[in-house]
Amino acid sequence: MSFSAAKWRDRFPLLAAHPGLHYLDNAATGQLCEAAFDAVTHHDLTHRANVLRGTYRLAEQADAAYENARQQVATYLNAANAEEVVFTAGTTAAINLVAHAFGEGLGAGDEVMLSLAEHHSNFVPWQMLRARRGVVLRILPLAPDGRLDLARLEEHLTPRCKLVAVTHASNVTGAVTELVPIVSAAHAVGARVLVDGAQAVQHGPVDVQALGVDLYAFSGHKAFGPTGVGVLWGKAEALEQLPPFLGGGGMIGRVTPGETTFAMPPRRFEAGTPPIAQAVGLGAALDWLQAQPWADMHAHTARLAQRLLEELAVLPGLTFLGPRDLRNRLPIVSFNLDGLHPHDVCQVLDRHGVAVRGGHHCAQPLMDFFGVAGAVRASLAPYNSEADIDALLAGLKDAMRKLG
């Protein structure tokens, strides 16, 4: 299958309807693909009903659509089976689920290791757990280019560590984490590994079995699916050891005035009415993505990212956050222009039809590491083109003239 960025762009309704939009904020949210849009619309028009225990045809069709979505997610992740897939409201909800459920078994002195590159969603829940349970947070430092400093891994990973929670790829620098040595070291001391995959899944299928991790979280809206839905994948034996996080309908075995027993995973973690239509849309998006020519698409976005890095490097007063090359890195480029506030730069770019994001990107510890309050971030997807890079560069030069 050959790849055309223009044809791919046409599969995204919003982009097809706005040919003058240069959308470069894909690390924050990807656009909704046609496959997901059609799946959600079809679901709501033909078999919208609540799931579980409905004995009429419409409800049974909704059950089948919801479980089919679970299987589609499992296939995209190469999970051992669909029962390892838990639907959540997003990455944040998935990580909070683990922080509460896994955290219930931790006490004072137990350790959780994070990295300095984490999104707030993988920082704040563990700080809250520290306040509740007295756990110790160990922070893996960074190399000068913002990558995790794995040379210091053993220094910070002790036998008291129960969980290592790290990002698969930074939402600021695009640096991809080398998970194999982390997983090996964590398992050697008996610790589980949770990976924040929010920035990774939109760049191609993920093989959780090959990665060897125990738990993996991501959001639908970053993978060209609907908002309001995400996934926590976990090895079956890891999920079975976790208590439920929320209580209510759908996650029980038997309720009496005296006690409640709980369903097996994944139902144990899906209290109440789940995001049914959103899950159906996510499953359709991932099913469509599974079939895409990813080698060609990666080559396309790498060419765009390389050009962007080279042409930004010659702008006076520009500084990068993160690696300057594309080695083991996603097409996410963050930078600052000397003396210009990121928000002001983004507003000028918007007048050129360029959508990028400016600020701390929910990664203030990482910003502190780089000694800045925020940055401008351009993040690419396969539907981006040379025209998007042209518009971004022209807009930046205009910002430098007007704001400098």
Domain boundaries, the chain: 5-31+293-403, 37-290
Q: Which residue shows structure tokens 């006490």? A: 107
User: How much of the chain exceeds pLDDT 90, in percent?
Assistant: 99
Q: According to the model, what pLDDT value does residue 404 have?
A: 80
Q: 232 pairs with which residues across the strands? A: 86, 217
Q: Cα–Cα–Cα angle for 70, 74, 79, nearest 5°? A: 145
> Which of 33, 161, 346, 362 does the annotation list as catalytic?
362
Tokens of 296: 């060609």
Confidence of residue 2 (pLDDT cuts 50, 70, 90): confident
Could you please state the CATH topology (level 3) that the domain comprising 37-290 is classified under.
Aspartate Aminotransferase; domain 2 (3.40.640)
Q: Cα–Cα–Cα angle for 84, 86, 87, nearest 5°? A: 150
Pick the CATH number of 5-31+293-403 from 3.40.1160.10, 3.20.20.150, 3.90.1150.10, 3.40.50.2300: 3.90.1150.10
Encode pLDDT of 252-261 as tens digits: 999 999 999 9
- CA–centroid distance for 87 within its chain: 14
Encode pLDDT of 78-99 as tens digits: 999 999 999 999 999 999 999 9
- Name the nearest CA neighbour of 103 among 84, 128, 81: 128
Q: Annotated catalytic, 362? A: yes
- CA atoms of 206 and 197, how far apart (whole Å): 9
- CA atoms of 245 and 267, how far apart (whole Å): 11
* Cα distances (angstroms) measured from residue 335 to each of 74, 209, 341, 365: 36, 35, 11, 16
C-beta of residue 358 within 8 angstroms of C-beta of residue 343: yes
Q: According to the model, what pLDDT value does residue 310 have?
A: 98
Mean pLDDT of the chain: 97
Alpha-carbon radius of gyration of the chain: 22
- Name the nearest CA neighbour of 231 among 244, 245, 242, 217: 217
What is the rounded average pLDDT of the residues 199-220? 98
Encode pLDDT of 259-280 as tens digits: 999 999 999 999 999 999 999 9
Q: Is the dihedral angle over the CA atoms 166, 205, 91, 104 positive or is it negative?
A: negative
The answer, yes or no, to whether residue 1 has pLDDT greater than 60, is no
What is the rounded average pLDDT of the residues 101-130? 98
